[in-house]
A and B are shown apart, each in its own frame.
Chain A
Amino acid sequence: DVKVTQSSRYLVKRTGEKVFLECVQDMDHENMFWYRQDPGLGLRLIYFSYDVKMKEKGDIPEGYSVSREKKERFSLILESASTNQTSMYLCASSLSVPQIGTYGYTFGSGTRLTVV
């Protein structure tokens, strides 16, 4: 089975800290995505990447950056964490050319980040 692993399930950081959220997938997927999920707002796309060293802004990139130095790893960076970045962060990956049985995104279990 495809696995998308997020490094932490729960994280508490202080305002102003630099925060790294790590995501690793083990099935050679080209595409990787970072979403945040807040009550009443659903999932919102922060950044995505279609290839190593490539990145594209999603719908809410402000306050975030990303890094994709290797195909299997996609990092989300909060340069200076703020309380309004308290949220559930979800990483996902997918194939560029879906094959039978491999459609859609595979999500990680999420990182619940609290900024105090």
Chain B
Amino acid sequence: DAKTTQPTSMDCAEGRAANLPCNHSTISGNEYVYWYRQIHSQGPQYIIHGLKNNETNEMASLIITEDRKSSTLILPHATLRDTAVYYCIVSSLLFGNEKLTFGTGTRLTIIP
């Protein structure tokens, strides 16, 4: 699996858009970009994933650059409940199964 690089921590004001970057310069053609988050004392929670097109769901948007070497997770109107550690992961689908390797992520703090 390709490795990812994320900032260790970020702050964002409540109500503003939180933009979390991720570099994955060695991503290969069949690898997806996944984002998870982990709120304190809970297990990680799936947010969104994508291959090459931008994706949006009820939680967030995922913007993947054309060369696929980096991506940005966007939380459009951050709330205090979005304070968490955010993990960017790249992984291929092997026979329909996924083995995900989590790094240390970005600790996002939403400031009131």
Contact = CB atoms under 8 A, between A and B. Distances in A.
Nearest to B101: A45
A93 to B, nearest CB: 11
A110 B43 contact: yes
A109 B104 contact: no
Interface of A: 4, 30-31, 33, 35, 40-45, 48, 50, 58-59, 90-92, 94, 96-98, 103-110
Interface of B: 34, 36, 41-46, 49, 87, 95-105
26 contacts: A4-B43, A31-B97, A33-B99, A41-B104, A42-B103, A42-B105, A43-B44, A43-B102, A44-B102, A45-B101, A50-B97, A91-B43, A94-B98, A98-B96, A103-B46, A104-B46, A104-B98, A105-B36, A105-B46, A106-B46, A107-B43, A107-B45, A108-B43, A109-B41, A109-B42, A109-B43
